[in-house]
Amino acid sequence: MQKFTKDIEMNIIKGIAGTFKRHPGQLNNICEADAEILDFKDQEADYLVFKTDGIKEEINEGLYEDPYLIGWMAVTVTVSDLAAVGSEPIGILLNLNIPANPSNFWVENFKTGINEACNHYNVPVLGGDTNFDPALSISSTGIATLSGKKPMMRKNIHPGDLLYATGKFGQGSAFAYSRLINSSTKIDYKPYARLKESWKIREFATACIDTSDGVFPALSVLCNLNQIGVKIKNPIQQLLCNRSLAIYNSSPVPAWMFLAGPHGEYELIFSIPPSNKKRLELLSHDQNFPFIFLGEVIEDKKIAFITEGMGCISEISEISNMFYQVNGNVQEYYKMLFERHNQWLNKETAII
Amino acid sequence: MQKFTKDIEMNIIKGIAGTFKRHPGQLNNICEADAEILDFKDQEADYLVFKTDGIKEEINEGLYEDPYLIGWMAVTVTVSDLAAVGSEPIGILLNLNIPANPSNFWVENFKTGINEACNHYNVPVLGGDTNFDPALSISSTGIATLSGKKPMMRKNIHPGDLLYATGKFGQGSAFAYSRLINSSTKIDYKPYARLKESWKIREFATACIDTSDGVFPALSVLCNLNQIGVKIKNPIQQLLCNRSLAIYNSSPVPAWMFLAGPHGEYELIFSIPPSNKKRLELLSHDQNFPFIFLGEVIEDKKIAFITEGMGCISEISEISNMFYQVNGNVQEYYKMLFERHNQWLNKETAII
């Protein structure tokens, strides 16, 4: 298998997808938004929104095995992207490749996962395609509208803007650790697409992205697209959710690694101009949304953060590329993250 | 692997999909139309239309290997279903699971197949999701609108209605024969979704379905849903396209087998009341659409047809179930079709 980084992977995808016929009303270029946005009615703020996403890799890697989780995630991965642009889902279509003779237990729990997610987000299933295949894989396509509002994209962030998140981080990494690194730990994983939050955030956020691939990968996308850097102000440990803290407190894993991806927590990261700070804090308080302040956007194209009491600086795509540099080998990835941590420990400590 | 027929497969799918939350504005129940139809604006004839479909099985079986064909079909399978309801595509999203290091030849031909299909149908690619997986599989989701017209569904056919098709049959079977049964024959395969035809047909057809799974499977769906039968008036040999005739004239395969599926030709089969016969013939002449008269809808729930000079009668799902009764084994299926043919030859000849 060819070695390639996240950036190279993105180039392969662009090399294939970049030549396809495009819709003249499409607002976003490739990768500029979490979902595809179409100016539908030739009116400034009346959009159709589309997204297709799947959970094949998570199943292949042994991360998702529980049929309830597979059903829940099949819906959540796509709704999360519809949320990241601030849209209101019409419904989803499901592509199911499932074994020809699944057990009743499997089918019932899979269906329950899908149904509970659809009910939670109030998103109906419009249709689908079911094939029988020994290699389980599921994808879904979501359709949404956005009326009277501008969609949030990944662009339009400027130095000085403030970065927030809809919740604390690390649930996805903690779960991956418990499944793939240390199976003596048991961690539940049930992320929620931040749909309701997004309908409020869209009123004043300049850009938004979900952390489906982890926090550093999300920041890397924002930094690359906008040619900016990010300074995370709070020590990473303070940004970890309870499930991550359970692993953090009982393992050698440093705090920043819980944000490295590629298995994320489906929070939204969004930027606001400093002038909207008060409005955001009021909203967070009024709606009981536990928004987290991350830090600020800087001109220098670096990601700066504090972990284990030390200031660290990384290139913007450095951390998000690591998983691909080891061809997705989880054990090697885990080792590589520690090697990078030791480099910071030994010589690169910086005051930020 | 469990033995099951097309009907049982449909029940498994309904058992999974039948419990999902549904949209209150959805016009069709499960399987009642080739695509999903949503009453979008609370106006009688203003619909959003969705369809997701894939070509995993065709790739797994060795039927599709040429990357151009894979690209062409990834678009065509979905556009064909959008056509079957008479809708006008907005665009498609592509789910690509492709090897991590495809050759330039492969990528270029795959892209060309997608691009030529998108240009032919005037359907833009709105977005997609690309994953790297050694097991190639492609699916696409199409979105369309239908304004000022009623969508065509698979229902509302009555005894006495006339059945037509947008073109001659058997291209899919001829190609499968050349790939899987007798590789000394070479047959091109490039079906076209009948989009432009559907925009005319929708003006007076009562029901419509595409022959993506073959002609007998399409008729079986219509017969089951509407509790009707079909009498095909013209001898099947007269319904075969040139590619099928090339195989027909040089092999022992009887004419009806080219219509048995499960690999179809993506024509549309549609019903009209006898009162619309003149209008249809005028349209066919004016637009240079080579519509084919199939026969008429009957009360008796059978499919009657003439092949090799003999009248045959089959149960409505009998032929479409055969491929599933042999668990998709092509050689056994081919044998089973001949066994059935010999039964007709030996004792079941009927005058129709």
For the stretch B163-206, pLDDT in tens is 999 999 999 999 999 999 998 988 999 999 999 999 999 998 99
Contact between A53 and B129 using a beta-carbon 8 Å cutoff: yes
pLDDT of residue A45: 45
User: The dihedral of CA A300, A306, A311, A315: what is its sign?
Assistant: negative
Contact between A110 and B57 using a beta-carbon 8 Å cutoff: no
How many residue contacts between A and B have a Cβ separation below 8 Å? 166
Among candidates A26, A100, A107 on the partner chain, residue whose Cβ is nearest the Cβ of B2: A100
Nearest of B94, B201, B222 to residue B154 by alpha carbon = B222
Quick one: pLDDT band at residue A196, thresholds 50, 70, 90?
A: very high
**DSSP letter string, A199-265:** HHHTTT-SEEEE-TT-HHHHHHHHHHHHT-EEEE-S-GGGGB-HHHHHHHTTSS--GGGGGS-SS--
For residues A227 and B32, which has the higher predicted lDDT (pLDDT)?
A: A227
Average pLDDT over residues A91-97: 92
Chain B CA closest to residue A128: B52
Q: For an interface test with B, give the residue of A52, A78, A107, A212 to mutate (most B CBs within 10 A).
A: A52
Chain A residues touching residue B129 (CB < 8 angstroms): 52-54, 139
Three-state DSSP class for residue B9:
helix
pLDDT of residue B348: 54
Average pLDDT over residues B257-286: 96
Average pLDDT over residues A296-319: 96
Chain B residues touching residue A52 (CB < 8 angstroms): 93-95, 127-129, 141
Q: Spell out the residues 6+ positions from residue B70 whose beta carbon is closer than 8 angstroms to its own.
A: B55, B59, B64, B110, B113, B136, B138
Strands laid side by side in the B125-132 sheet: B36-39, B46-54, B137-147, B88-98, B125-132
Quick one: pLDDT band at residue B44, thresholds 50, 70, 90?
A: very low
For residues A8 and A207, which has the higher predicted lDDT (pLDDT)?
A: A207
Whether A316 contacts A247, CB under 8 Å: no
Among candidates A16, A97, A143 on the partner chain, residue whose Cβ is nearest the Cβ of B50: A143
For residues B351 and A334, which has the higher predicted lDDT (pLDDT)?
A: A334
pLDDT of residue B135: 85
Q: Picking from A3-17, A299-313, B233-247, B300-314, which range would have the lowest pLDDT averaged per residue?
A: A3-17
Average pLDDT for chain B: 91
- Is residue B41 pLDDT above 90, yes or no? no
For residues A222 and B35, which has the higher predicted lDDT (pLDDT)?
A: A222
Contact between A143 and B111 using a beta-carbon 8 Å cutoff: no
Chain A CA closest to residue B16: A111
pLDDT of residue B200: 95
Contact between B131 and A97 using a beta-carbon 8 Å cutoff: no
Which residues on adjacent β-strands are paired with residue A305? Answer: A312
For residues A11 and A313, which has the higher predicted lDDT (pLDDT)?
A: A313
Chain B residues touching residue A125 (CB < 8 angstroms): 17, 20-22
pLDDT of residue B1: 33
- Residue A82 CA to its chain's centroid (Å): 12
Chain B residues touching residue A12 (CB < 8 angstroms): 130
Residue in the structure block whose two tokens are 């990494």: A173
Nearest of A216, A213, A319 to residue A266 by alpha carbon = A213
Pairing of strands A302-307, A229-232: parallel
Q: Picking from A41-50, A163-172, A266-275, B14-23, which range would have the lowest pLDDT averaged per residue?
A: A41-50
Contact between B133 and A100 using a beta-carbon 8 Å cutoff: no
Residue in the structure block whose two tokens are 């890697």: A61
B283 vs chain A: nearest CA distance in angstroms?
A: 31
- Is residue A73 pLDDT above 50, yes or no? yes
Chain A residues touching residue B127 (CB < 8 angstroms): 35-36, 50-52
- Is residue A352 pLDDT above 50, yes or no? no
The rounded percent of chain B whose pLDDT value lies above 70 is 93
The rounded percent of chain A whose pLDDT value lies above 70 is 93
In this prediction the ipTM stands at 0.87
Q: For an interface test with A, give the residue of B8, B13, B21 to mutate (most A CBs within 10 A).
A: B21
- Is residue A118 pLDDT above 90, yes or no? yes
A141 vs chain B: nearest CA distance in angstroms?
A: 7
Q: Picking from A202-211, A279-288, B132-141, which range would have the lowest pLDDT averaged per residue?
A: B132-141
Chain A CA closest to residue B14: A130
pLDDT of residue B343: 94
pLDDT of residue A5: 61
Average pLDDT over residues A163-184: 96
Contact between B2 and A26 using a beta-carbon 8 Å cutoff: no
Among candidates B16, B26, B128 on the partner chain, residue whose Cβ is nearest the Cβ of A111: B16
Among candidates B21, B125, B139 on the partner chain, residue whose Cβ is nearest the Cβ of A118: B21
Query: CA-to-CA distance for B39 and B47, rounded, in angstroms?
Result: 5
Q: Tell me the per-residue pLDDT of A197-235, one tens digit each, with 9 for 90 and over.
A: 999 999 989 999 999 999 999 999 999 999 999 999 999
A331 vs chain B: nearest CA distance in angstroms?
A: 19
Quick one: pLDDT band at residue A53, thresholds 50, 70, 90?
A: very high
Among candidates B13, B38, B97 on the partner chain, residue whose Cβ is nearest the Cβ of A130: B13
Average pLDDT for chain A: 91
Query: CA-to-CA distance for B114 and B96, rounded, in angstroms?
Result: 12
pLDDT of residue B39: 78
Contact between A52 and B101 using a beta-carbon 8 Å cutoff: no
pLDDT of residue B166: 98
Q: Picking from A140-154, B21-35, B38-52, B60-74, which range would have the lowest pLDDT averaged per residue?
A: B38-52
Contact between B56 and A131 using a beta-carbon 8 Å cutoff: yes
Chain B residues touching residue A118 (CB < 8 angstroms): 20-21
Residue A162's identity, in one-letter code, is L
Contact between A143 and B48 using a beta-carbon 8 Å cutoff: yes
- Is residue A7 pLDDT above 70, yes or no? no
Chain B residues touching residue A48 (CB < 8 angstroms): 90, 143
Whether A7 contacts B101, CB under 8 Å: no
Average pLDDT over residues B201-212: 95
pLDDT of residue B131: 84
Contact between B131 and A57 using a beta-carbon 8 Å cutoff: yes
Chain A residues touching residue B54 (CB < 8 angstroms): 95, 129, 131
B50 vs chain A: nearest CA distance in angstroms?
A: 8
Query: CA-to-CA distance for A268 and A280, rounded, in angstroms?
Result: 14
Chain A residues touching residue B22 (CB < 8 angstroms): 124-125
pLDDT of residue A147: 82
Chain A residues touching residue B13 (CB < 8 angstroms): 130
pLDDT of residue A2: 39
Q: Picking from B5-9, B56-60, B65-69, which range would have the lowest pLDDT averaged per residue?
A: B5-9
Report the run of H or E that residue A327 belongs to, with start and end.
Answer: none
A125 vs chain B: nearest CA distance in angstroms?
A: 6
